[in-house]
Structure 1
Amino acid sequence: MKEYYADLHIHIGRTRSGRAVKITGAKTLTFSNVLQVASERKGLDLIGIIDCHSPEIIEEIEAGILDGEIMEKTEGGLQYKNTTIIPGSEIEIYDHNCNGPIHVLAYFPTLKAMKEFSSWMSGHVKNITLSSQRIYCDGRTLQKIVKSLGGLFIPAHVFTPFKSLYGKGVRSSLTEVFDPELIDAIELGLSSDTEMVKDIEELDSYVFVTNSDAHSLGKIAREYQKVLLEEPSFNELAKALKETGNRKVTVNYGLNPLLGKYHQTVCSGCLQQVLRDSEQCPECGNNSIIKGVSARIEELSVSGMDRRDGKERPPYIHQVPLDFIPGLGPKSMEKLLVGFGTEMNILHEVTLEQLMEIVPEKLAVYIDSARKGTLSFEVGGGGKYGKVKKELT
């Protein structure tokens, strides 16, 4: 078996004809550009493209198969050069048991299964061409449909204050909306990590995945994981999420939660940090408070004598994406890619000394500090990302 790099949450911004799929996604975030960047620039082995239900994207995949650029794999998934694509969909649930909308991810082994899901979903959403559309059915029904097509079901960015399982969706337990037996993994999201959520007992049985939720090409692989598989395929991924036959997630790579957009509790008006239980901003008097991910996790956690032993987790590496590093502009990035091939090579294979042969020493040290998790940050919240401080510690 071998370890592979996987980012399982990448959006499509526009179709080949220019039609919007993810409205908030970049226009350059097309299916063909995602494949090229993920494979050749980022160096990812396994990617989940989660807008493949859109009919025009299905047509683009079929055209790629016809042209010989894409091949369907016997173990599930689609092969493009050195990268396996797992076709998927992000869906918004808002059934009668929800306090607010919940985003979930569904993945399918074949294009045929994806087409069947798209056909079914077209009768339950207003616009099948768009990403993350609200589906008019309950959570358990959606789970059963996904499973009937051989799919994987994963709640997305589960602590985000908006449109997530714990952010607004449920009061205290996922069982309010979902059948826990039909959940394959939990996506943590950018504002949390393994250590933060270790005391949420109902998550003990699930593998955690860390994905980019990329809305632009540059954000692909800002979070990802290393998975141990026989080969990068749908069936092998499914085994890793269940940790069967020695397949597993071996490392999660993610942002330090302080960089996440929703880490701390803030006033929605002036974005000043406020206390968790505040009802009014002391700075501007605004009554609209956005509860941070860290505060919500504290509410859900069990600690002390009441906590049973949790699941043993793989390492969670706080790794700052290259895009976040001060002073690393397009020219320097291009030099690094010419010298070392892919971002995965830059982040995992290249020594500090090799970096200094390509870029100035200060920038090389920044990159090395970023991958070691030793940079310091300004905290994010209220929809505003945190920042890497310019001074090295």
Structure 2
Amino acid sequence: MHSKSKLSPFFADMHIHIGASRTGKPIKITGSRSLTLSNILNEAKNKKGLNIVGIIDCHAPEILEELKQLRREGMIKELNGGGLDVDGLTLIPGAEIEINDENCQGPIHVLVYMPSIETMEHLSQWLSSRMKNINLSSQRMYGSAIELQQFVKSLSGLFIPAHIFTPFKSLYGKGVKMSLNEVFDPNLIDAVELGLSSNTEMASTLEELSMYTFLTNSDAHSLEKIAREYQMLSLQEATFDEFKCALHEKEGREIIANYGLNPYLGKYYNSACENCLHAFQPNNKACSKCGSTRFIKGVNDRINELKGNETAQRNRPPYIHQIPLEFIPGLGPKTLTKLRDAFGTDMDIIHAVSREQLLKVVKTVIADHILSARSGELSIQIGGGGTYGKISKNTSY
């Protein structure tokens, strides 16, 4: 029985990739080779200041063996409420899986989380007969989405469609024509992940999403991208069961706030010409710059196609447009190291450190950029076509 008392805030990034195993074998092909399990855990806790991480390549046999070895060595402990304790940081084992059954219009990525190493191992064994290469991340599963949902639920796991609006390999990007009901059993979805080019306001225009909690995660392909997006959760303790309760808003557990990029900074906010990446208006017949008729449809245009006449009515936590420190103009690796040495983790720098404290370590312009990012006052050049937006260097205060 969950208690409503003694709830505390926890920072969580639930979509972090592993680039390579500790023996050097690739896991996420497009991920940095420095994204090893041990490096992720150190970065997440000691530099980023996270309390909970979802590492979504734990289905790979090499990673499972590494987790079991760490448990044998006493470095990992199983939590009573599910999840793994690593020196005060909670790791929830996950997997990113690609589906493309007969009901899909294109491949869709989904996130699956398990309460223990053993349940993740059961999922891995089940997937190994349905994938060409179980050793790699984000691989195609040959079977139906609903079949996967049902198996995940049989293991008491969580099922979450990933980065649902991005143009490639997502639910609404190319995965469905109009509705998630075309592909999934809606009752077997625990939440949806928004992705970098959308926010709560945009996603709330789709009525069928009103029953789901929104997650904001980094989808980190490098160590520095960890906690690019994250959420603050209200939990009694950092466990799998408590995280599940927060997704379903039970017993006072909930998401307090989503922290994510301003959608303008996302790689796919605007539609863009596929050839030259110039901004493309979907009602145009050809690119005004190069004449190409092929374009990458942006998240904003896709949501406008799908949305209803009214915003779905549901009280949601605030979506706070958070600018990661790496986006701050003039804030390079050496300066970031100085800030971390002075103030601790990125969560401290982004949310708490005063202007007076910042000025003892960095130049005035950088301190002002950090504070303006905190208050959502930075000017942004909009991204699209696979290119991130940028913070305008001539922002005035």
* TM-score for the superposition, normalised by structure 2: 0.97
Q: Is residue 47 of structure 2 the alignment partner of residue 41 of structure 1?
A: yes
SS in 2 for 1:69: coil
Equivalent runs, 1:13-162 vs 2, <5 Å: 13-162=19-168
- The match for 2:262 is 256
What are the superposed Cα offsets for residues 187-234 of structure 1, whole Å, 9 maximum, x if unpaired? Answer: 000000011122100000100000000000000000000000000110
- The match for 1:362 is 365
- Structure 1 residue 182, shift from structure 2 partner: 0.3
Paired amino acid for 2:364: E
Paired amino acid for 1:168: K
Of 351, 371, 382 in structure 2, the residue corresponding to residue 379 of structure 1 is 382
Give ranges in structure 1 of 5+ residues lacking alignment.
none
- The match for 2:294 is 288
Contact 2:206/2:311 (<8 A) preserved: no
Equivalent runs, 1:297-316 vs 2, <5 Å: 297-303=303-309, 307=310, 309-316=312-319
- Structure 1 residue 140, shift from structure 2 partner: 0.4
Give ranges in structure 2 of 5+ residues lacking alignment.
1-6
- For 1:216 and 1:354, how far apart are their aligned partners in 2? 29
SS in 1 for 2:200: coil
- The match for 1:207 is 213
- For 2:283 and 2:180, how far apart are their aligned partners in 1? 23
- The match for 2:327 is 324
Paired amino acid for 1:324: F
Paired amino acid for 2:264: L
Paired amino acid for 1:383: G
Paired amino acid for 1:379: I
What are the superposed Cα offsets for residues 255-278 of structure 1, whole Å, 9 maximum, x if unpaired? Answer: 000000000011011111111233
SS in 1 for 2:202: coil
What are the superposed Cα offsets for residues 5-52 of structure 1, whole Å, 9 maximum, x if unpaired? Answer: 000000000111111100000010111100000011101000000000
What are the superposed Cα offsets for residues 115-173 of structure 1, whole Å, 9 maximum, x if unpaired? Answer: 00000000000000000000001110010011001100000000000100000000000
- For 2:103 and 2:283, how far apart are their aligned partners in 1? 25
Change (3 A) 1:250 1:284: same
- For 1:254 and 1:193, how far apart are their aligned partners in 2? 8
Contact 1:199/1:310 (<8 A) preserved: no
Q: Is residue 21 of structure 2 the alignment partner of residue 2 of structure 1?
A: no
- Structure 1 residue 282, shift from structure 2 partner: 2.2
- Structure 1 residue 361, shift from structure 2 partner: 1.4
- For 1:119 and 1:309, how far apart are their aligned partners in 2? 40
SS in 2 for 1:338: helix
- Structure 1 residue 308, shift from structure 2 partner: 7.0
Report the RMSD for the aligned CA atoms in angstroms.
0.9
- The match for 1:241 is 247
- For 1:300 and 1:358, how far apart are their aligned partners in 2? 47
- For 1:191 and 1:199, how far apart are their aligned partners in 2? 15
- For 2:38 and 2:298, how far apart are their aligned partners in 1? 36
Count of paired positions: 390
Paired amino acid for 2:341: V
- For 1:75 and 1:186, how far apart are their aligned partners in 2? 22
* TM-score for the superposition, normalised by structure 1: 0.98
- Structure 1 residue 181, shift from structure 2 partner: 0.3
Of 343, 348, 361 in structure 2, the residue corresponding to residue 345 of structure 1 is 348
- For 1:384 and 1:319, how far apart are their aligned partners in 2? 18
- For 1:17 and 1:82, how far apart are their aligned partners in 2? 25
Paired amino acid for 1:257: P
Contact 2:206/2:312 (<8 A) preserved: no
- For 2:20 and 2:53, how far apart are their aligned partners in 1? 18
- For 1:87 and 1:353, how far apart are their aligned partners in 2? 40
Paired amino acid for 1:253: Y
- The match for 1:173 is 179
- For 1:143 and 1:103, how far apart are their aligned partners in 2? 13
- The match for 2:4 is none
- For 2:347 and 2:311, how far apart are their aligned partners in 1? 37
- For 1:112 and 1:102, how far apart are their aligned partners in 2? 26
Task: Give the % identical residues.
Answer: 55
What are the superposed Cα offsets for residues 292-342 of structure 1, whole Å, 9 maximum, x if unpaired? Answer: 000000111112xxx375111110000100011111112211111111111
Paired amino acid for 1:36: N
Change (3 A) 1:131 1:308: closer
